Amino acid sequence: MNKGLYIATGESNSGKSIVVLGLMRTFLGRNPRVGYFRPIIDDLEEGEVDNHINTVLTHFELDITQEEAYGFTRSEVLTKYNDGKEGEVFDTLIEKFKHLEERFDFIVVEGTDFSDEHSIIEFDINVLICKNFGIPAIVVSNGYQKKANEVTRKTKLAYDTFKSKDVEVSAVVVNKVAENSLDAVQDKLDFLFGDKVETIVIPEIKTLKSPTVREISEYLDGKVLFGEDFLNNLAGNFGVGAMQLHNYLNHLKDNSLVVTPGDRSDIILGALQASASSNYPKISGIVLTGGIIPETSIMKLIEGVNLNLPVVSVDGGTFEVTNKIGNINSKIYADNTQKINTSIATFEKHVNTDRLAERLITHENTLLTPRMFQYNLLKRAKTSKKRIVLPEGYDERVLRAASRLINADVVDITLIGDPEKIKLKASKLGILTNIAKTEIIDPVQFEYFEDYVTTFYELRKHKNVNMDMARDFMRDVSYFGTMMIYKGHADGMVSGAVNTTQHTIRPALQFIKTKPTASVVSSVFFMCLEDRVSVFGDCAINPNPNAEQLAEIAIASADTANDFGIEPKVAMLSYSSGSSGKGADVDKVREATKIIKEKRPDLKVEGPIQYDAAVDMNVGKSKLPDSEVAGQASVLIFPDLNTGNNTYKAVQRETGAIAIGPMLQGLNKPVNDLSRGCTVDDVYNTVIITAIQAQEF
């Protein structure tokens, strides 16, 4: 079941607050545990709170703090983007959203406001945030003073942009539409979208557009002279009191704001009297310009009147002040229950809330973005911390990754090497504080060294290993680290930044050995592409597996995918698709596919199939139209190491994909290999998946 929705707009002043308030009421009527989150907010002055957040949290009495309810301010996001750290933005946002997701059954997420000159990048950011949250969107458009064709065309463009990034759009809303255009806009939306989404048209509500006297006073930095309790009065109209009183009275309208110089006592008193009279409209307030406070006698007279409206003094000339008032974009504040209730009532009047709620709640997200995948890995590893040994303790990449892992409190780390040398290097790298928290072991000085030697001798004496040879083997960091796992002093090992794959794996094969169900050790990479995570196997271990081994690799890889939250759809890759190809290589793949179907009929598998037909929907359906896998494969099995290793590296380099792994399959305890060209991120990610593997033992 879907856990939330994202309310997005492509422009400023769209009126999405109506949608937010309406949906909060809708879902709180169905479930008491509804949360609220804003990924990016406008910059705040010290001590200031975000008005959108304050309004929602206060009105609906949500148990969420201001800090929990947003991710970043606008300037913080721009700074990180300029520093090339946009990845940190999404990682933090996902983490905050997921924390709320754990506490609430449903979360309403409100997108950005498009309130400054940097709005050009905001729409794309909103799309990516929504995608990484894995929730559907509601797209809100501003229909104010726009023709039906114009606003519906812009709405369709926004919809198409979300869909092109694999984000589900559950509804489109055109807001602030003139009463005489409602039917035209609705008809056009129905024509463009049919029943693909819920199409909603909301009329312009004048009272929501009108600013309160409080907003006007704060915008003009005014001083409230009288009637502070009535600052939430709506200024539906405003007019300048510059003519003689008897003429001005003829221009008063309901909820009119009187703007007049502070020395025009005739206008002030006349407007107050008119508002009290049943023969004239009620006014919402009086703004006195020029910074002029009425003389004492007038102030005393006003003070003695039972006012139900505010009087505010502001600096600036009357013409200047009037123009400023006309430029105010009204907002909804927490204490303005009239506007909040009007917003909710408007939403419920023009929206079939039952149908919309049903569409949103039943939406099921199947998209797994790379950042969602990495967040889930981190969270899963933290559920049961494991100790991972890193034998190559002098390597800078290993040390930097260890520092990050310690800082994230995701695993316990053991480094192998001379403690003083490692700490000295860590000090030079500026990471000594974290490295000092790790366990650092010099093999020969370790209290269990002789026990390790004896154990290895007993395990390998049938291979003519004597005690001296066993002692030499235990001085080798790969053998020592593997023995730590065997003896239960560590839960897993990651190596290969310096040593070869063979050097890393040989000790594990000698005495950790393979699972009873595994005849071969194989590997997979988690390929984090732009919009999905795929599993590639085997790209690191087996040079030329036969059909039986290839089938075993595919089954193990499918199970690994499933264990890590990826629905396995297995593509057995070859140079041809279906039954067209002939030759020993394609016959091997065809035979392996047959074996998989016999052993695991529950798996969705296709083979032989070419790479493009496996991952591209159009190509897949043209070549294998009846396949459950073609065009949507998530597990890609290569026929040999030459093909697999080159392909994963080509995809990684040419697309910028993150390749997490290789993760080894088939061993009794987790030992994972690194490439000697690995990065700090590679080490970091491989340690995390090793820790997750270790949780299964």
Per-residue pLDDT tens over the stretch 136-149:
999 999 888 889 89
pTM, entire model:
0.66
How many other CB atoms are found less than 10 A from the CB of residue 621?
A: 15
CA distance 564 to 542: 23
Examine the pLDDT at 2 and tell me if it is beyond 70.
no
Q: What is the pLDDT of residue 117?
A: 53
What domains are there in the chain, each with its CATH number? 4-209+338-360 (3.40.50.300), 213-329 (3.40.1390.20), 368-513+667-697 (3.40.50.10950), 517-666 (3.40.50.10750)
Residue range 171-175: mean pLDDT, rounded: 91
Mean pLDDT lowest for which of 11-15, 119-123, 216-220, 586-590? 119-123
User: Alpha-carbon torsion 560, 561, 565, 570, what sign?
Assistant: negative
Mean pLDDT lowest for which of 115-124, 178-187, 243-252, 260-269? 115-124
H helices then E strands: how many in the chain?
Answer: 29, 23
Residue range 228-245: mean pLDDT, rounded: 82
Mean pLDDT lowest for which of 48-62, 101-115, 128-142, 551-565? 101-115
Type of residue at 673 = D
Q: What is the pLDDT of residue 215?
A: 86
Note every long-range contact of 618-626, with CB atoms under 8 Å and residues 24 or more positions apart, other chains counting: 623/577, 623/578, 624/577, 624/578
Give me 169's structure tokens: 């759009």
CA distance 321 to 682: 60
Which residue reads 């494969």 in tokens? 633
Examine the pLDDT at 293 and tell me if it is beyond 60.
yes
Mean pLDDT lowest for which of 246-250, 288-292, 623-627? 246-250
Q: What is the pLDDT of residue 89?
A: 87
pLDDT bin (cut points 50, 70, 90) of residue 466 is very high
Examine the pLDDT at 118 and tell me if it is beyond 60.
no
Closest CA relative to residue 504, chosen from 521, 487, 525, 488: 521
Q: What is the pLDDT of residue 119?
A: 58
76: enclosing H helix or E strand: helix 74-82
Residue range 171-197: mean pLDDT, rounded: 90
CA distance 413 to 408: 12
Closest CA relative to residue 418, chosen from 385, 392, 388: 392
Q: What is the pLDDT of residue 276?
A: 82
CA distance 18 to 416: 60
Q: What is the pLDDT of residue 433?
A: 85
Type of residue at 367 = L
Supply φ then ψ for residue 237, to 5 degrees.
-140, 165
| Residue 85 Cα to chain centre, angstroms | 15
Helix (H, G, I), strand (E, B) or coil at 328: coil
How much is the mean pLDDT over the chain? Answer: 88
Q: What is the pLDDT of residue 325?
A: 85
Enter the DSSP assignment of 116: S
Q: Characterize 506-525 residue by residue with b for buried, 16 or more Cβ atoms within 10 angstroms of its Cβ, and e for exposed.
A: ebbebbbbeeeebebbbbbb
Q: What is the pLDDT of residue 47?
A: 78
How many other CB atoms are found less than 10 A from the CB of residue 367?
A: 14
Question: Which residues 6+ apart lie within 8 Å of 42 measured at CB?
Answer: 50, 73, 74, 113, 115, 116
Type of residue at 353 = T
CA distance 276 to 285: 12
Residue range 19-27: mean pLDDT, rounded: 89
Examine the pLDDT at 650 and tell me if it is beyond 70.
yes
Pairing of strands 223-226, 311-313: antiparallel
CA distance 375 to 61: 30
CA distance 491 to 388: 6
CA distance 673 to 481: 13
Q: What is the pLDDT of residue 444?
A: 92
- From residue 399, alpha-carbon distances to 402, 429, 581 in Å are 5, 9, 49
Instruction: For residue 662, say if its preceding peptide bond is cis, omega within 30 degrees of 0.
Output: yes
Residue range 6-31: mean pLDDT, rounded: 85
Q: What is the pLDDT of residue 626?
A: 86
Give me 223's structure tokens: 């001083």
Give me 678's structure tokens: 């690995």
Residue range 682-692: mean pLDDT, rounded: 92
Examine the pLDDT at 652 and tell me if it is beyond 90.
no
CA distance 567 to 687: 23
Q: What is the pLDDT of residue 672?
A: 92
Residue range 229-242: mean pLDDT, rounded: 81
Mean pLDDT lowest for which of 154-158, 167-171, 370-374? 370-374
Q: Characterize 73-109 residue by residue with b for buried, 16 or more Cβ atoms within 10 angstroms of its Cβ, and e for exposed.
A: ebeebbebeeeeeeeebbbebbebbbebbeebbbbbb
Give me 16's structure tokens: 């999405």
Q: Are 650 and 527 in contact (CB under 8 A)?
A: no
Length of the chain: 697
Which residue reads 């946009």 in tokens? 86
Q: Are 7 and 336 in contact (CB under 8 A)?
A: no
pLDDT bin (cut points 50, 70, 90) of residue 378 is confident
- For the stretch 490-549, pLDDT in tens is 999 999 999 888 888 899 999 998 888 888 989 999 998 877 889 998 998 889 999 999
More confident residue, 647 or 14: 647
